[in-house]
Structure 1
Amino acid sequence: MIRTLRAATILVASTLLVAGSGLAQPEPRMLFHDVHRAMGSEFSIDLYAPNQETADRWMQLSFEEVDRIEKLLSNYRPSSELSRISREAGTHPVTIDPETFDFLQTSVSWSSRSNGAFDITVGPIMRAWGFFFNQGRIPSEAELLALKRQTGWTNIHLDASARTVSFINGSAMELDPGGIGKGYAVDRIVALLHQEHVSAALISAGSSTIYAIGAPPGSQGWPINIADPARSGRILSTVLLTDTSLSTSACTEKFFIKNGHRYCHILDPHTMHPIENMLQTTVIAPSATDSDALTKAMFVMRADASARLLQDLPQTAAVIVSGTPDSPSYRAIQWPNPLQTRHETKQEEGIRTR
């Protein structure tokens, strides 16, 4: 079975366990597939199960978990915990549930590690550029300057002892989980399927963040093809994923064009403008939450700073494609396989962690 995704092509070999001679064998497992709309994306799951009934139960549990996460973290739903924080934390410390507190701690941690390249407070700026509803507009510098006073991850204060969150700037801010929330939902599905003793599954969120549990029967991993953003239909690299995640951020589909200029949907929180001369970042990391956040941060940070960041992250690798479709530049950082490109590629292997 071949599935084409937005940022990667996932190839799944549908094989069964082969019975040995005279020995008791595990129950044969078949490959099942299902799709669910949530969090403004399409979540899909491929998993091996002994029968349809078991597969349906695992799928239902997984998609119910995605819906629960959306109710908790959506910035489109006024009733969500994240929306309540956005409304109230500017006037007083807000006590929140342990799960949401841990989620915010992780988000703020990535902001700190990336020197603000990743920032969950950029929602108002995204809206000003018209990216939330695919309208596309160019805001004035005065408008952006006014919005800057309502953004900035350093304005988020987390008190672990009281489990509260407050905004230091004293005004309402919008917390936007778009850069990390789908990765978190994938991790929650993975934890649930582990509890169900699922041995092989591939979870995809919006075709940009995936996690591989185990491997298909008879295989060493789930083969993942990374698309080349500068060459339509061409594969940049193929990797085998086992018990790890892969995320990709790209400007190949979500953008708008005004006066002949192309504006990418990924913004630099420091300049409040769309990133220029970047095409795609792909990250392999043990956690889907982390790989999701890292692709956004590295899109803003660029290659040299990204390489320094990854030195502190074991079992993490990245491919960065910068420049333009007509003149791309490729950078591989701790990437497990050579890149398939006609262009010169700088390979960085063996970067050690502290």
Structure 2
Amino acid sequence: MRRLLFIASTLIALVAAGCPLVIQVRCDDSFRCDDGEACVAGACVQVALESAQVGAACTSDATCGAGLTCGMGFPGGYCLAPCGAGDTCASGSVCVKELGRCMRACGETCGRPGYACTPVPQPGSSTWACAPTSSNGGDGGTDPAPSEDAGCAGQVPLNEHCAQACDCAPPGADCVDSVCVRACTRDSDCSDGSRCNETWHRCEEGPRLGEACRESRDCPGSATCNAQRRCKTICNTDWSCPLDYRCAPDSVCVNECTNTPPETVGLTCETSLDCARCGFCVASGTVKQCRQPCLLDRDCPGGAVGSCEQVGSTALRACRLP
């Protein structure tokens, strides 16, 4: 107790005398320093990152300077600085949040041979930085090597634990609350074998409407697994169906056709779910056959006048069969 009182009184005396009190946080491989700090002799110390060094060629971390690392997956090496949730990067550099690293900002400074101003970490990204061009064996930071150098393996599947966005394997996935997720508004935003959860607006594994199922709990939302073992949702209008789906004449939601007609056109069917991705099951005499939905004649093969006709007494239309 006397020792604690002595230490406390000594600290108070030092502060009162105007002596600066510096408390250094210990660091090692299991405890990383904050952005703008470097681990020096086991303690986190403030460092002034040299923005001119970010994006420079390198052969090791030492050639980049304190607080920077050398990304050897980039052609000729690439000095990288860390950036976190605050997107803090030195002047002349920009934070690529998916990688958790600062890269050289676009401008006259992007003059390295084989490098150019390009979206990172993949084509279509909103962030632009000085990155390898495809002619130099890179693709603006989208190949696996640069991601690994940024501290990511890119092997974590959806809904599994992650530390940062580039840990996630699916393209376009983000690390939210330490879990790999992919934001979506419709099923087409998700990769094959997954669908968009209407409540959370995140891609999840499982069959979509009209796809094969074993039981109702395999299907999205309130959809059920029908007798033909396909996920089925009953509808009255197109508004009753999710985005990219429409209500077929037999009141089931089917995927909306794009530029490719359903491959089942002309085949016999019981319901529109038998017509694959986007067909309508329509009565033709004594049988039901799969037809291609349409709005105008030009939506049908050949686009002949009258080729898009009304289906029964409904407001729906389908292409005439050949």
Same fold (TM over 0.5): no
TM-score (norm 1): 0.21
As a proportion of its length, which structure holds more helix? 1
As a proportion of its length, which structure holds more strand? 1
TM-score (norm 2): 0.22
Larger Rg: 2
